[in-house]
Amino acid sequence: MHNNTAISELIEAGKWISQRGWVPATGGNFSARTNSGFVVTASGFDKGQLGSHTFIELDHVGNRSASAAKPSAETELHLCMYKLIPAANYVLHTHSVAATVLSRVIKGHSLDLDGYEMQKSLTGITSHLDTLSIPIFDNDQDIDRLSLLVSDHHLHMPIEHGVLIRGHGLYVVGRTISEVRRQLEGLEFLFACEIERLKLVGLES
């Protein structure tokens, strides 16, 4: 995939994600794997109003091309996800209320969901009886250290759909732009349902 194609797809995804309120206050960042390496959103831009100037191009090892834009501090975590999941061609990082709150409310190392038909919107999940597990990592301003934690987890329990960063947000991966958007939308629906369930029955149920 050429850089311009990836950028166009991420611009459209940014408009869609922004309209749903999942990337407030210039939060979040998006990336894609391309023929020449990667493209990733630069820091400080409204994700609903992205343009070609709001992206940084990286080579296959993560070295950036000349650009006046400031790279996101979380670029390294995007590159980590691509290294761990070779089939992933897109990473969407969002800051929705549901993902942020659940990542703080759940004290364990993963958010485990079952019983929801919408779980089947996630690749590889074929039944509401399956358990969908999304790893949760404590937030860390040291992205290199956080990336090492994610990598270590993946060695023991492979990451399939994405990860939650506690009090921060969600990273979702996908092979195609349609898959990553579907998985993001499915997860956001599931997170919203789980919050409503917990309001009714409490954390101990």
Annotated binding-site residue numbers for Zn(2+): 93, 95
For every residue of the chain, which 3-state class applies, written as one string?
CCHHHHHHHHHHHHHHHHHCCCCHHHCCEEEEEECCEEEEEECCCCCCCCCHHHEEEECCCCCECCCCCCECCCHHHHHHHHHHCCCCCEEEEECCHHHHHHHHHCCCCEEEECCCHHHHHCCCCCCCCCCEEEEEECCCCCHHHHHHHHHHHHHHCCCCCEEEECCCEEEEEECCHHHHHHHHHHHHHHHHHHHHHHHHHCCCC
Residue ranges at the known binding site: 93, 95
